[in-house]
């Protein structure tokens, strides 16, 4: 509901009087929240406090909150941080499933996830662009290999 609630603000008087249009909007917000939770496999946790949920599940809750407002651009900064390999794979699949009609900007160090999800990759080295292009092109760029794997002996 937090993500949906950010899309509009009623005035003080309208909130205090609980006008019918607000009740209708609250129902619509609840429906939207339920839709997003269901889409991300979180429906069973809808009324469960986030405190105590596993870290991977919390990442999905954060994603649900971001999607609830129907963004057209989603910036994900290190979404795989702290996740196990299986959780990274699950999160990548989830991000793949929500991409339609949504521009996703992914800042990530987990190269498997980057290569799986990206149509275009920009590789930076200390703020300097090393390479840009399709994942296969960037993966084989000698400057990228040297910067991230070191010079061959």
pLDDT in tens, 108-142: 989 899 999 999 999 998 899 999 999 999 989 99
Res 23 pLDDT > 80? no
- Going from the C-alpha of 49 to that of each of 45, 57, 58, 81, the distances in angstroms are 8, 12, 11, 22
**Pairing label, strands 73-77, 103-107:** parallel
Helix (H, G, I), strand (E, B) or coil at 39: helix
In a domain, 26, yes or no: yes
> pLDDT for 49-107, tens place per residue?
888 889 989 999 899 989 988 899 999 999 999 999 999 999 999 999 988 889 999 99
- Count how many domains the chain has: 1
Kindly report the average pLDDT of the chain as a whole number. 83
Say if residue 88 is exposed, middle or buried (CB neighbours under 10 Å; 0-12, 13-18, 19+): buried
In a domain, 116, yes or no: no
In a domain, 106, yes or no: no
121's CB contacts (< 8 A; 6+ apart) are 114, 115, 131, 132, 133, 134, 135, 138
Query: What does the pLDDT average to over 35-41?
Result: 87
**How confident is the model at residue 89, as a pLDDT?**
94
**How confident is the model at residue 102, as a pLDDT?**
93
**How confident is the model at residue 3, as a pLDDT?**
46
| Model confidence pTM above 0.75 | no
In a domain, 7, yes or no: yes
What do you get for the CA distance between the two ends of the chain, in Å?
55
Res 9 pLDDT > 80? no
Within 13 Å, how many C-alpha atoms sit on residue 19's CB side? 9
Highest mean pLDDT among 2-11, 37-46, 88-97: 88-97
In a domain, 130, yes or no: no
In a domain, 20, yes or no: yes
**Pairing label, strands 121-125, 128-133:** antiparallel
Owning domain of residue 1: 1-70
In a domain, 91, yes or no: no
Q: Are 10 and 16 in contact (CB under 8 A)?
A: no
In a domain, 79, yes or no: no
């Amino acid at each position: 509901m937090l993500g949906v609630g950010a899309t509009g603000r009623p005035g003080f008087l309208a909130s205090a009087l609980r006008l019918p249009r607000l009740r209708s909007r609250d129902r619509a917000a609840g429906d939207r929240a339920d839709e997003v939770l269901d889409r991300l496999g979180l429906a069973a946790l809808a009324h469960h406090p986030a405190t105590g949920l596993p870290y991977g599940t919390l990442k999905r809750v954060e994603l649900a909150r971001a999607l609830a407002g129907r963004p057209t651009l989603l910036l994900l900064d290190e979404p795989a941080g702290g996740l196990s390999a299986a959780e990274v794979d699950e999160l990548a699949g989830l991000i793949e499933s929500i991409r339609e009609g949504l521009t996703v900007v992914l800042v990530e160090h987990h190269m498997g996830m980057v290569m799986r999800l990206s149509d275009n990759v920009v590789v930076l080295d200390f703020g300097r662009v090393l390479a840009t292009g399709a994942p296969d092109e960037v993966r084989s760029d000698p400057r990228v290999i040297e910067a991230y794997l070191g010079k061959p002996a």
